[in-house]
Amino acid sequence: MDKNYHIFSDGRIERSEDTIRLETADGEKKHIPVEHAEAIYLHGQIDYNTRLMSFLNDHGVAVHVFGWNDRYAGSLMPERGQTSGRTVVEQVRAYDDPEQRQSLAASFVRGSIHNMRTNVTYYDSREYELGDVIENLDDATARIGDAADISELMGVEATARRAYYRTFEAVLPDSFAFDGREYNPPPNPVNALISFGNSMVYANCVSAIRATALDPTISYLHEPGERRYSLSLDIADLFKPVLTDRLLFRLVNRKQISRDDFRDEVGSCLLNEEGRTTFLKEFEQTLERTVEHPTLNRKVSYQYLLRLEAYKLKKHLLTGESYDSFKRWW
């Protein structure tokens, strides 16, 4: 199984014969086997050259770059393994067709709320009183079909997410107080964890989409724009409750992450290197975890579920088969 590799150290990354070599600023050298790499995540100040980029392109390895506040800054993607003009044409046609775009956007919102509700139901059954949140999410789901346009769908999703975030207040300890979602920059540890986790989900979705012939800039719920892969935003919304939020609850409640894993800067709170390392170790283990797929009749990893979602959308666009967004079933 291909793996993601995260680099926090400052230094230089380059090709060394048929492998990838990292030389840190203090002279330490490490090697990454390119044949087992899905993507490389650069969190430090790293120098690299075109020879390395060509090498990674030949092996289909993506590079995701994170800048100040560990915010996603961009990706260096390999040349597509699959290229299909027809797929891109059908993507654009679906975007330009108000009815089809509305249907796809509604499916993304429906799946996102379902996966939020799954988390709430899990904790409601464990002596937390979250019935009002479940009711709010059910009300939001019922309003999806009444939304007149994309902006109203976005409003339904935003209302659901505000209700959902009340779960964080109930589930997390008092030392991790949470009064609502804030970012750019995150002002407290819970928001820092959400932002960091969501950026990892987004980048993994970018890689998953790139494995198909879909264009990552053509989306349906989020408006396509400059300098972002908006289709990754659509798909990431489905997986944030599964990959970011459940992991956040587990790490904090099991005290694997504490207040000592953050650093406070002017107006912001960020994970320090130890905190990011802890989070990413568990995040990558979650991606590698497998579940029995109900239609494939075999076990698939969480990471492969991201790619399956992109393929499902592609199949809908090319064949007209109904698109039913990812909903956690286990």
Helices H, strands E: what count in the chain? 11, 12
Q: Could you tell me where in the chain the CATH 1.20.120.920 domains are found? A: 85-319
> Which pLDDT value is given to residue 36?
86
pLDDT at 81 over 90: no
36 annotated ligand-binding residue: no
Q: Could you tell me where in the chain the CATH 3.100.10.20 domains are found? A: 3-76
CATH of domain 3-76: 3.100.10.20
Confidence band, pLDDT 50/70/90 cuts, at residue 1: low
DSSP state of 243: I
6 CB neighbour count, 10 Å cutoff = 19
pLDDT at 78 over 90: no
Give the tens place of pLDDT for each residue, 174-223.
Answer: 999 999 999 889 999 999 999 999 999 999 999 999 889 999 999 999 99
Confidence band, pLDDT 50/70/90 cuts, at residue 124: very high
185: preceding bond cis by omega (within 30 degrees): yes
Q: What is the DSSP string of 297-312?
A: -SEEEHHHHHHHHHHH
> Which pLDDT value is given to residue 71?
82
Average pLDDT, the chain: 94
Q: Give this prediction's pTM.
A: 0.93
Give the tens place of pLDDT for each residue, 235-293.
Answer: 999 999 999 999 999 999 999 999 999 999 888 999 999 999 999 999 999 999 999 99
Superfamily of domain 85-319: CRISPR-associated endonuclease Cas1, C-terminal domain (1.20.120.920)
Which ranges constitute the DSSP H helices of 172-240?
189-210, 230-240
157 annotated ligand-binding residue: yes
